[in-house]
Each structure stands twice: as structure tokens, then as C-alpha cells.
Structure 1
Amino acid sequence: MKNINKYIIAIAAMLMMTSCYDGIDPITEVDPGPDLEDPTAELISPNGNVLIPFTDTEVDLDIEVLVEDDIEIDNVTVILDGNTIRTFESFLDYRIFMETFQYENLQLGSHNLIVNVTDTSGKTASDDLTFTLDNTYLPSVEGETFYIPFFEGLYTELISESEPIVVGTPDIVSGGYSGNTYKGATDSYLTFPIDGLFGEDSFSATFWYKVNSTPDRAGILVVGNDTPENRNQGFRLFREGSETQQTIKANIGIGSADSWNDGGVIDVTAGKWVHIALTVSATESKIYFNGVEQLSATLSSSIDWTDCSKITIGSGGETFNYWGHLSDLSEIDELRLYNKALSQAEIEAMQ
């Protein structure tokens, strides 16, 4: 009886399988026809020059290729600077092939990338791109003319790719707001020429600052001329105060007189980085801490740059060393200058 039941179940299963194929044509091979068209090859990525952060000197490059043929792809090769870096000979879809992969540690400079395809009839196609891998700094805000990040022990200004005159023994140390930072020293500062840095009647300066209250006063950023104790040209951003509080102030030369902005107070005991911005338009100066306006001062005339030729960083320097405004032992990071008066929204975006 058991054997009879098994036979019945087996026959029923066979009948069910047969019924599943009722109405379905069997699979038959279709002749693809003659191979009439050339294959196509396309480099999807990169599609132009590649820009990487200025702090980097190499990149893991993403490469994407697309290959198509009317009948069947035989092989695909990718060549970088004359060397084959990938070969593909097995394809899930014989007519369309898309692949993304990385080439590691590509160095700065000019490079040539080629993708070649051959179909099964021997027809070929290729696509190539000559591109540059570059880490040149691009200004982050319209009007930015000057930027020193103080990274890797360098005082290099990245927009002009120029070096300062270094006076004394300032230093670049770790622990900055972003990586390394400038740290002042006694009788020490940097100077750069100011050609092309400022607008005719407006400018801005921004930087991150960790104040050292010793000495109790110092110059921070100064542009002046050679006239002794003259404040009618250029500008002076400086600090004055005590061991616990330091006031950031600005003095703007307007030709026949000067204008004072008494700024705001930094709590020295907090030991925190503060983002400082000084903006000067044709009619007023403003000082901001962390994007918040501290004080504005009206200018009766626009700033006068007569006979001003250089900016001093980290000291009163040669033109503002009186009243004790000598070298600043504080830390300065991410220093930028602009040829316009920044808006508060632009400054807030830097926080």
C-alpha cells in the first residue's frame, strides 16, 4: 500500500510540473545577427581636472568607465600614464559594461587616462582624458586676497604662494584651531607686502585667536607708513588689558586724522579660541567676536593708504611699537584678508 501511495504522489508531481510549462514556448537560441557597429567607450569619471585640498599631495582617484557593444564585448583595459591598471574579460552583460574602481596614491601633476574596448569581432574603441591633479588653494569667499593656515610649519601665503620676511623667532606649533598655529615670541613677527590685498576704501581681516595676556598689550595686525608715531594712514588692530581680560581694539587712519574702535573684551581665563573679524568700509569700522558684532565706529573719511607698503603680523612692528604695542605672544590661526568689508552673514558662516 505504501508503495502504491508513493507511485501516485510521483505521478501527480510529474503532472504538475508538466502543467507549469503549458503555454510557454521553449527557450531557443536567437541568432544575434552580424556585428555591424563599433563598440563605444566612455570615461565617466574623472571628467576634467581634479582639485584636492591644499593640504594633500596625493589622492585615491575614483575611476568610472562605461562600455557598450551591439553584439558582445570581448575585453576592456584601463591605462594610466602608459601603464595598464585594470583589465576586464568577464562580463555579466555582454553588451553593456559599467565599472567603478579606485587607483590609490595618485600624485600631483599631469596625467593621461585611457579606456580601450575590443568586441568579439575585433572592432575597437577608446576614450581618453588628460587631466591635472592640483592642490592649489581657491579662495573661500569672494574678495579673499590672503590666507595663511600655518600648516606643516610653513608661513606660506597660499593665494600668492609667497613667503614673508620673518623677524625674530616666531614659531608654528600644534594645538591650533585647525591643525598647527602661529605662536608669537618676543621681538618676533612676520611682514608681507600689501600690493593687491586691500580695497581702495574697504577691507576685512579674520582669524582665530587664543590670547596670551603677557605682555599686557601688543600689536596683532598693523599697516602703517614710515612717519614716526603717525596713525593717519593704514590701520592697527591691537590688544590691551590685564591678566584676566584683554580688549581688542582698532585704529583706522583717515588722512588728516584717525578713528578709534574700542572693540570688545576677551576673557583670558577661559583659554578658548575666539574668531575675530575686523571690517572697514568707506564709512565705518566693525569688530566681531565669533560672528557677533562687538562695536562699530563711524569714519568721517575713508581709510588712507598713503605710503603704506607692508602688513605686520603678530606685533606693532616698525610703525606701531610705541605705547608698548610690541610682539604678541598669543596664537593666531587661519589668517585671512579681503579687499572688501565682509557682511555679518559672511562672518557668521566662518564659525
Structure 2
Amino acid sequence: MNTNYKTLTASLLIFIVTSVLVTACTKAELDNTFKAGDPPPVAGGFVNSNDISPSNLVAHFAFEGNVNDTKGAVTGGTASGTTSFVAGRKGQAYQGSTNGFIVYANPGPIATLTSFTASFWINTNKHDGGAQGVFNLAKQDGSFWGNFFVMIEGNNTSSNRMFMKLHFEKNTAPFTEHWAEPNGFGAVDYRPDDMYGAWRHVVWTYDAATSKVRFFVNGQKRDLPPGTEDRKADPAGTPLGALNFKSATKFVIGAYQNQLGAPFNAPEPWMLPYTGKLDEFRIYNKALSELEISALNILERQGR
């Protein structure tokens, strides 16, 4: 009987160990718990955010304790006012303030974009009293606006919808101001919801071949108001085509060109520096595909 008991105990022990090993081997591995050094690819076969159209990536501001463009083409970056680096979506991030911003003396290939993708992570709270500038390609010819910029309007309501605007110019076109406003001139349903107090991935693209603007939040394409997606060069409806910026001189992160002072015009009271966090700011010289944008969102969210 003692022998039988020992045999039964040994059998049970083997069964338990085997069950644990089988469970461990067959347990589904979530896509955000992959083993270091052996990450599973996402749709498109990408395993790292830098795998996405690397030949078209012209600027990448990772903000890993510095303001440098990791591509090395946008140079002369200096921080003004109160700026710092904090925990980001991936590594560290830029932290703006009511008087802080970064200016680059040489915008490099950003100055010659004909198509673009601007991809960045924001983590910001509501503000009031004006519009905060996220980035701006300055124009040194006395013009009121810069060549290419994104701003976030103030929000003093209970709504968590964000009113963000993209502006870019084609300076040989008779009509030179090209706004892409996801508010539909008052139709707030086009503004993305749940945008404050957490990291959100924002992407704007413009494709010279189609003259179309697209807007993405957290990897998902957002509808724009009728007529906003298709950009025209003139009232006759000529497609806008390839961009050509004018007198592009400096690149600003976290403010407008006006914060630079003369000769860029003094900032008006509503022109505010960006006070939130900003991370993984990438600029491409083409409009990324929806697959590429989705992959970029997933990979950077996973810290890859």
C-alpha cells in the first residue's frame, strides 16, 4: 500500500508539472508583452518604428534628453524659456510651458517638402485664451503666417473634443492659405473626442499626387468636412499639386514663428506656446499609407 501511495503521488506530480509546462507553452503572448530581442512583426512586416519608409523620413525629434533631429538634417536647435524632458510615450518627451519653445536655425529638408506626413504624440490638458502652436516652419518675408504649421485651439467647455488646425501654403498658387480644419466651420462632430490628459497619436498628411489632406488619431483615419480633404489651388478648382514653400528659414517646435520676434511679426495675444508634452515627432516627405500609419501607432505605443 505504501508503494502504491508513492506511485500515485509521483504520477500526480508529473501530471501537474506537465500541465504547467503545456500551459506556459500554449499561453497566448500579447503583442505588447513580446520578448526583448524577438518582437513579433505588426501588419506590413514592421518590427520597429524606424522600419517605416526610412528613405522618406526627413526629420525625427525623439526628445531623448535633447532637442536634436536624429536624422541630422534639421540643425541649430536651441531651447528658449522653460522647457524640459519628461517621461514620454516612448522614452522621454519634450515638456512645453507658457514661455517655452525650440527653434532650429536650419530647417533642412522640411523647407523643400512637396508632400508630407507630420506624425507626433501629444499629451496635453485643456487651455483657454487662444491657440497653442505645436510646430511652425517660419517664413522670412513679413507674412503673417508661416509656411506650414499645426495649432490647437482653446477649449473652455466640458467637451473633450479637440479643435486642431493644419495650415500650409503653396506660394505660387493664387489662393495661398490652405487650412484643414476638422471642425467643419462649426460642425464640432468632426473634432476628435477624448483627446486630453493622456497620450494621443496625431498624423496629418498631404499627397501632391492627389492634392488630398488626411487626418489620423491613434492610427484611425478621421473624416474631414466636405471639401476639406481635396485641396484646390484656385477658385476654379485646379488641384493644388506639389507644394513649394516661400522664404522658409527656421523651424519652431512648441510655438509660432511670431514668438521669434522680428522679422516674423510680434505674437498676437491669442498666439500661445504649446504647454503639453510632445514625443516622437516625425516628418516624412511623402504621405504615408494607412497601413504605415497604423503600424507606426502600434509600434511607438509599444516602445518600439
Q: Do the two structures share a fold, i.e. TM-score over 0.5?
A: yes
- Offset of residue 284 of structure 1: 2.3
Which structure's residues are more often strand, by fraction? Answer: 1
* Aligned residue runs from structure 1 range 79-158, under 5 A: 140-142=52-54, 143-151=56-64, 153-158=65-70
Query: Counterpart in 2 of 1:276?
Result: 202
- Offset of residue 269 of structure 1: 7.1
Aligned length: 213
The alignment partner of 2:296 has SS state of coil
1:268 and 1:212, CA in 2 relative to 1: closer, same or farther beyond 3 A?
A: farther
Confirm or deny that 1:293 pairs with 2:221. Answer: yes
Deviations 1:290-313 (A, max 9, x none): 122222532222433110122211
Higher relative contact order, chain-length normalized (CA < 8 Å, sep 6+): 2
Query: Counterpart in 2 of 1:237?
Result: 150
Q: Are the aligned partners of 2:96 and 2:254 in contact in 1 as well (CA < 8 Å)?
A: yes
Query: Counterpart in 2 of 1:220?
Result: 134
1:269 and 1:190, CA in 2 relative to 1: closer, same or farther beyond 3 A?
A: closer
Q: Are the aligned partners of 1:317 and 1:326 in contact in 2 as well (CA < 8 Å)?
A: no
- How high is the TM-score relative to the length of structure 1? 0.55
1:222 and 1:340, CA in 2 relative to 1: closer, same or farther beyond 3 A?
A: same
Q: Distance in 2 between matches of 1:338 and 1:173?
A: 25
Deviations 1:145-193 (A, max 9, x none): 1112212x2222211185512121211112x211221110122211222
Structure 2 letter corresponding to 1:349: A
Query: Counterpart in 2 of 1:306?
Result: 246
Deviations 1:217-265 (A, max 9, x none): 211111131334434x621211113144321111121224211111353
Unaligned 5+ segments in structure 2 are 1-48, 183-189, 233-239, 259-263, 298-304
Q: Distance in 2 between matches of 1:187 and 1:179?
A: 24
Query: Counterpart in 2 of 1:88?
Result: none
Confirm or deny that 1:254 pairs with 2:166. Answer: no
Q: Are the aligned partners of 2:140 and 2:249 in contact in 1 as well (CA < 8 Å)?
A: no
Q: Are the aligned partners of 1:220 and 1:238 in contact in 2 as well (CA < 8 Å)?
A: yes
Q: Distance in 2 between matches of 1:334 and 1:181?
A: 8
Q: Distance in 1 between matches of 2:63 and 2:102?
A: 12
1:305 and 1:139, CA in 2 relative to 1: closer, same or farther beyond 3 A?
A: farther
Q: Are the aligned partners of 1:223 and 1:234 in contact in 2 as well (CA < 8 Å)?
A: yes
Q: Are the aligned partners of 1:139 and 1:145 in contact in 2 as well (CA < 8 Å)?
A: no
1:157 and 1:185, CA in 2 relative to 1: closer, same or farther beyond 3 A?
A: same
Return the index of the structure with the highest Cα Rg.
Answer: 1
Q: Are the aligned partners of 2:99 and 2:273 in contact in 1 as well (CA < 8 Å)?
A: yes
Structure 2 letter corresponding to 1:312: V
User: How large is the Cα RMSD of the aligned pairs?
Assistant: 2.7
Q: Are the aligned partners of 1:155 and 1:163 in contact in 2 as well (CA < 8 Å)?
A: no
Identical-residue share of aligned pairs (%) = 22
1:269 and 1:236, CA in 2 relative to 1: closer, same or farther beyond 3 A?
A: closer
Deviations 1:314-340 (A, max 9, x none): 111325844612201011011111111
Confirm or deny that 1:201 pairs with 2:141. Answer: no
* Aligned residue runs from structure 1 range 7-46, under 5 A: none
